[in-house]
Every structure is written in C-alpha cells, then in structure tokens.
Amino acid sequence: MEVVQTVNDVRKALLSARKSGTVIGLVPTMGALHAGHEALIEAARRKCGVVVVSIFVNPLQFGPNEDYQRYPRALVKDLGICRRHGADIVFNPSVDEMYRTPQLTFAEVTRVSEDLCGKFRPGHFRGVATVVLKLFNIVRANRAYFGEKDMQQLAVIRRMVADLNVPIEIIGVPTVREADGLAISSRNEYLNPAERRVAPVLYHALQEAAGRIRSGERDAAKVRETAMAILRAEPLMRVEYVEIVDPSEIQPLSTISGPVRIAAAVWIGGTRLIDNVGN
C-alpha cells in the first residue's frame, strides 16, 4: 500500500492504472476509520482494480463553533485499517496541499442541501461538495463510495455529479450499526458511558416511526410525532430535527405516498448524532 501526501504523487501513483483502463475506486474519508469505513473500502475492493482511500479532515465543512479542532485524528491506526481491508493507495494531504490558493470557487448544491442538517450547519454541504469535487478531480476515479448514514451528504453528492456531469459513479453503502442499533460514527467516541447507553434511542425512535408508515399511516406529522415523543422522553437527548423527506431532493413531506427517509439529528451532551431509516 502506497501512502501519498500530494496531488502530484497521487496522480503519479495512478498513472499506470489509468493507462491500462483499470477501474479506480475512491473512498473519501476524514479518517478516524471505523467499521462503517471498512464496509466502504471492502465494497470498493470487490468492484475496483485499484482502491484509493483519502484521509483529510476538511476545514471547509466545519462551522466556526464546530468540532474541527477536536475531530478525532488517528493516522497510524487508520493506515493499518486501510492495509487490512485492501486499499492500494492512501491519499493524506495537508490542508495547505488541498487549499494551495485561497479557495474562491465552491460547489453549492441548492435545495438538496438546504433542509435538515443544512439548516443547522450553514455552509457545511458547500464545504463537503467542494472538497469532494476536488477529490474527484484529483483522483479521477471511476467510482466513489459513501455511507448511507450521511443520507443528505450522499444526496448532495449525487445531485452535484448529475448536475455538473462529473464522470463518476456514486455508490451508497448501507449504514453499519452496533449490536444495539447505534449507527457507527467517528463522533460516537465523544460519548461518555451514560450518553452511550442512551444513544441507541435515536435508531429505536426512527424504527418506531417507520413502523407506523408500514402500518398504513400516511400523515407525515403523525409519523414524525411518534419519533419525537420517544426522543423527547429521553432527558439526556435534545432533538435538533426529525423530518420525513423524499430520498432524492431531501424535501420535507406532509403526506407519505412512496419511498421516504425518516431522518433525525439529536444532541447528547456535546455530541451531535444523525441517523435515518427508510419505510
């Protein structure tokens, strides 16, 4: 496995694969790799001749009062995980390498990025779309793999790729969960033991709401209230949002008439968790 830090070096490392027409798979990450990332790398490994994992904590997608400074960084452990799961190249650029010149150009996907997390994290999806588009241009992969836990991020990236004719196939990989249902996330490590014990309530609330849809409820407000009531009953949780949305444009719905996603964000102490399920 090759570890490279610069745009030139990752391009050089991919030259022969590109010449021979080998399928290149990209797994963009911010490091602190866990079982969710392992599933992405394995999915890429199954379908691609060369697997590139990028590890870059992107300052552009963090708000001024967010956790950019304390975001977990664990490069040595991450490289071990990449090696064990069959990555060929790890691209681990510095902030200066990724943003060589002050960034004056941004990728912004309107509408899809405006509700849910977009409402509470202004600029977040612009930062995500911009760095992802940069990574796509740097690596020029055939396929890129993203987790379905970050449903809105995945929808934003799919829409950017469609709208801007980016020649890459986007693959969503199902959320990996702990045995108690908690979606695996790098931020779970912020939780203290008491907070960790209540965290699975988020998934439980979403499942109950999905169950109401499966039993025939079509009024999104009632479905939403099912999840809200469960979350509100948990004193350690503060609900940021619960919404029932259409899966492609992430627009809140009032009536449920087809496939939807039920998505929520909660705070437990100083940790923000998101999750989503389908009906």
The residues assigned a catalytic role are: 37
Comparison of 58 and 271: residue with beta carbon closer to ligand PAF: 58
CA-to-CA dists, residue 67 to 10, 202, 205, angstroms:
28, 21, 26
# residues contacting ligand PAF (CB under 6 A): 10
Give 5's DSSP letter: -
Q: Which residues pair with 208 in a beta bridge?
A: none
CB contact set of 252 (below 8 Å; sequence gap of 6+): 115, 220, 243, 244, 245
Q: Is 58 in the site for ligand PAF (CB under 6 A)?
A: yes
Instruction: Show the site string, 204-233: x = touches ligand PAF by CB under 6 A, - = not.
Output: ------------------------------
Comparison of 142 and 153: residue with beta carbon closer to ligand PAF: 153
Instruction: State the burial class of residue 100 (Cβ atoms within 10 Å of its Cβ: 0-12, 13-18, 19+).
Output: exposed
Q: How far is the CB of 260 from ligand PAF (least distance, A)?
A: 22
Interaction with ligand PAF in 16-55: which residues (CB under 6 A)?
28-30
Instruction: Show the site string, 59-78: x = touches ligand PAF by CB under 6 A, - = not.
Output: --x-----------------
Q: Can you tell me which of 150, 240, 243, 275 binds ligand PAF, judged by CB under 6 A?
A: 150
Q: Is 130 in the site for ligand PAF (CB under 6 A)?
A: no
Alpha-helical regions (H) of 174-237: 193-198, 201-214, 220-232
Residue 159 CA to residue 175 CA, distance in Å, equals: 20
Cβ contact 260:245 at 8 Å: yes
* Footprint on this chain of ligand PAF (rule: CB under 6 A): 28-30, 58, 61, 128, 131-132, 150, 153
